[in-house]
Amino acid sequence: MSKIFKHKDFELTIFVEDTDFQGFVYHANYIKYFERARSNFLTINGISQNDLRQSNLGFVIKRIDIDFLYPAKLGEKLIVQTEVEKKSKARMLFNQKIISDDSKNQICEGSVEVCMVDIETKKPKPFPNDLLLIFDNGEAHG
C-alpha cells in the first residue's frame, strides 16, 4: 500500500530571468520550480543528494506529466504544493501544483515519477533506508 505525505509549501517570486518577452513565465521553468520543491522535501527530511552521489546513487525522473492552466507573470509570488507518494522501495510519485499567492489562480499541476539508480551502472536501486523510513514510520517533515 502506498503512503502519501503533504510537504510544506515552497514559495518563490517570479523574476525577469524566469519570463519570456511577454512577461509570462517560460513553460520549462515550471519544471524547475517543481524540482526545487522536491529538493526541499529531501533537505528538510535530512536526505543529502551530495551524500547519495558519493555513494554512487542518484535520483532520475522516469516520467513527468504537466498541465498548464494559467500563466504566471513577472513579479508574481507563487506557491508550489507537493504531495509525495511512495509507490515502491524504488519509486516515488510527486503530485505538485503551482498556485499564485497573489491571484489564487492555479497556474499548473503535474506529477513527477522519481526513481533511484546506480550512477555508474544506470541500473535501478532501492531508495536508501533513511528515505524509506520516512514513509514506513510516517515521520516526514514539512
Residues with catalytic roles? 20
Q: In sequence order, which ranges of the chain are alpha helices (DSSP H)?
A: 27-44, 49-54, 129-137
Q: Extract the C-alpha cell encoding 78.
A: 507563487
Helix, coil or strand: residue 99: strand
Count of Cβ atoms closer than 10 Å to residue 92 Cβ? 23
Residue that the C-alpha cell 497573489 belongs to: 102
Return the ∠ at Cα 103 (arms to 82 and 98), rounded to 5°. Answer: 20
Residue 19, phi then psi, degrees to nearest 5: -110, 165
